[in-house]
Amino acid sequence: MAYDRTVFLPIDPDAAFDLVTQPERLRRWKTVAARVDLRLGGEYRWTITPGNIAMGNFTKIEPGKCVSYTFGWTDDPNLQPGASKVTVTLEPVPGGTNVRLVHEGLTAEQEVGHAEGWDHFLERLVQYVTSGKATADPWNASPENLDALKSADASLAIAELILHEVKNDQLKNSTPCSDFNLQQLIDHQYGSMVNIAKSLGIPVSTDPDASFEVRLADLAQKVMETFTTRGLDGSLVLGENELPASVVANILNIELLIHAIDIAMASGQKYEVSPELADYVLGLTRHTISPEGRAAGLFGPEVPVADTAENVQHLLAFTGRAS
């Protein structure tokens, strides 16, 4: 069985090729995180939705014309990486490009499930290109069977969208973190990701020309891949402290989600956090923020909030923020 669908994009084939191969472009419509080695035999690893990771290798690359790759899921024994094949063909037509996606090597049951997925993402691709604006993917909002890594993926998806929309003329804006203006807060969030990466043994190099979103997303991809591989057992050295790896994962969630909301507030952006995600991260936060941490000024005093307040307001109040 095979899935076969063509959509029209009002852009040229080279721009369309970037959208289906480049990590920064893939994040606009398809992935939470992406690692891509775009060469024959090169490997890709895409976090499609929180906790759902597709992998494979490139088998054909013709820039502006075609890309083919093997496809499978890291957690699906019935469709493992390499078990099927995807081919994306780009055909120039008046006013733009026809993008044809064919997914071969599926059983009848797999074709049904993957058709739903490809339809969802191809429609998001068309929406992004025609509107020029990325939107939150509802499939990322409330992952099933939440754990610290799935919630970090969901928080990363929120942070990426918010950082992508920050404007240079907003960087001196004040933020809910009274010690930081917006530029400083963004740098702090990235610095926290650097520290977590180093605790995992990940070499860190920063492109000074990269956007705020790109530098955070690219490093977060490495952090999440490494965490997923090693798991949350044992301990890590974070800065001068040795902590359980699970606590470092909790800190990752706090830095991604809480500061993403801070950045949204400081830059005048709307944000959406599902009740399920807000509740889960609040639970992680309650196990992470100690009285000593509050006393040291790492977090402000808990802010009173009505029992009837939204879930995300309870999260913000616990971290010392008035929503």
| The two three-digit tokens of residue 245, written as one number | 């790896």
**What pLDDT, on the 0 to 100 scale, is given for residue 293?**
67
The pLDDT of residue 18: 98
Contact between 111 and 1 (Cβ < 8 Å): yes
Q: What is the predicted pLDDT for the residue at 197? A: 98
What pLDDT does residue 206 have? Answer: 87
The domain ranges of the chain are 2-131, 138-318
Contact 151, 50 (CB under 8 A): yes
How does pLDDT run along the chain (323 residues), one tens digit per residue?
A: 899 999 999 999 999 999 999 999 999 999 999 999 999 999 999 999 999 999 999 999 999 999 999 999 999 999 999 999 999 999 999 999 999 999 999 999 999 999 999 999 999 999 999 999 999 999 999 999 999 999 999 999 999 999 999 999 999 999 999 889 999 999 999 999 999 999 999 999 989 899 999 999 999 999 999 999 999 999 999 999 999 999 999 999 999 999 999 999 999 999 999 999 999 999 999 999 877 766 666 778 899 999 999 999 999 999 998 76
| Angstrom distance (rounded) from CA 109 to CA 54 | 18
Q: Which burial class, exposed, middle or buried, applies to 207 when counting CB atoms under 10 A from its CB (0-12, 13-18, 19+)?
A: exposed
Q: Which CATH superfamily is domain 2-131 in?
A: START domain (3.30.530.20)
Considering the entire predicted model, what is its pTM?
Answer: 0.96
CA distances from 210 to 15, 36, 47, 127, 224 (A): 19, 17, 21, 25, 20
Phi and psi, residue 36, nearest 5°: -135, 125
Class of domain 138-318: mainly alpha
The predicted pLDDT at position 161 comes to 98
